[in-house]
Chains A and B, each alone.
Chain A
Amino acid sequence: SYELTQPPSVSVSPGQTATITCSGDKLENKYTCWYRQKPGQSPVLVMYQDSKRPSGIPERFSGSNSGNTATLTITETQPIDEADYYCQAWDTSTVFGGGTKLTVL
């Protein structure tokens, strides 16, 4: 079965750039998206079709997908960005990555 690998944790200082990766075999051949989940809340879509931002998501969020890696980049990271982030890949099936805890300190 297809698997996606994310780093368990990423730490960044406020105002710096956070980069969260998601790796899978020939991932560029699939669509990827990203979710943000804060404690006790449902996931929220923050990036879809690799690099498109849903309405309401700040321009600080960007995404890419090339080769075996999809990347979510958050510039000027703020304390409110602290959350778990999950990638998802889909084509004729779907799978989630294991999640990355983003800490802003």
Chain B
Amino acid sequence: QVHMVESGGGVVQPGRSLRLSCAASGFSFSDYAMHWVRQAPGKGLEWVALIAFNGKSESYADSVKGRFTISRDNSKNTVYLQMDSLRHEDTAVYYCARVSNVDGDYGDFDYWGQGTLVTVSS
């Protein structure tokens, strides 16, 4: 069955960097666009970034553009989120999510990881 596991979260000081990973299994990873969605403590869901199935296109929320970079390694069934110049407001649980439709960058998310908590604090 489909399974996605995020890792790499932790406590980091403002201005520092962190790289999140999402390891996927149970489906043909290279066929699907992948997204990162975050949720600040007690708040709602916020879309962060997407990467196309082949890694050739990316898109970012304005709140992270220029600071975060999404990438993927289809040979390792893994998607990454490089987070630089972190701010207090980036504190959140970060989820990776799979788009349900094979041939699109955007869509509904039929599978989510369990999330990894990033805390930006001095």
Interface residues of chain A, those whose CB is within 8 Å of chain B, are: 1, 31, 33, 35, 37, 42-45, 48-49, 54, 84, 86, 88, 90-99
Contact = CB atoms under 8 A, between A and B. Distances in A.
A94 B113 contact: no
B27 interface: no
A35 B95 CA distance: 14
Contacts of A94: 35, 47, 50, 106
Given A42-B113, A42-B114, A48 B45 contact: no
A38 to B, nearest CB: 13
B89 interface: no
Given A33-B108, A42-B95, A43-B109, A96 B47 contact: yes
Interface secondary structure of B, over-half rule: strand
A91 B101 CA distance: 12
A92 B106 contact: yes
Interface of B: 35, 37, 44-47, 50, 59, 62, 95, 100, 106-110, 112-115
Interface secondary structure of A, over-half rule: strand
B8 to A, nearest CB: 17
Contacts of B50: 94
Q: Which of A45, A95, A98: most chain B Cβ within 10 A?
A: A45
B41 to A, nearest CB: 12
Top 6 closest A-B pairs, CB basis?
A33-B108, A99-B44, A42-B112, A48-B108, A90-B106, A96-B45
A41 B106 CA distance: 23
Contact of A45 (B45, B108, B114): B108
A11 B17 CA distance: 42
Contacts of A43: 45, 95, 109, 112
Nearest to B6: A42
B108 A86 contact: no
A84 B107 CA distance: 20
B59 A31 contact: no
